[in-house]
């Protein structure tokens, strides 16, 4: 997984990261945003755009949020995959 959105995004979902993503691989996962691992090109544009510092390359993700890797993986495979806020 190139980049992971961690717990600081929960309840915030600022969407600044979505605005700068050149391949539009950041989606609404309910309580937080997530990055689809098969679509991400690993450019890192989203990292500095996040106002709560919730986005990390997987290898730099703090151990405290290691469970976020699996959560992002689950979200990208689940029914919320391409749902944006406000859509059914």
Q: What's the whole-number average pLDDT of the chain? A: 89
Residue 85 pLDDT level (bands cut at 50, 70, 90): very low
Fold (CATH) for 3-77: Alpha-Beta Plaits (3.30.70)
Q: Which pLDDT value is given to residue 81?
A: 57
Spatial distance between the Cα atoms of 82 and 21, rounded to a whole number of angstroms: 15
Sorted by where each begins, the domain ranges of the chain are 3-77
pLDDT tens figures, 10-22: 999 999 999 999 9
DSSP symbols for 46-64: HHHH-TT--EEEGGG--GG
pLDDT tens figures, 6-57: 999 999 999 999 999 999 999 998 899 999 999 999 999 999 999 999 999 9
Q: Whole-model pTM?
A: 0.85
Q: Which pLDDT value is given to residue 88?
A: 42
Instruction: Determine the Cα angle at 63 with ends 57 and 64, to 5°.
Output: 110
């Amino acid at each position: 997984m190139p980049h992971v959105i961690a717990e600081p995004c929960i309840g915030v979902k600022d969407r600044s990261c979505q605005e700068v993503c050149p391949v539009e691989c950041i989606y609404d996962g309910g309580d937080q945003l997530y990055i689809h691992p098969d679509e991400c090109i690993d450019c890192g544009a989203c990292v500095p755009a996040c106002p709560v510092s919730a986005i990390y390359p997987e290898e730099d993700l703090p151990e405290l949020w290691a469970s976020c890797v699996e959560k992002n993986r689950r979200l990208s495979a689940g029914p919320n995959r391409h749902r944006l806020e406000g859509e059914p």
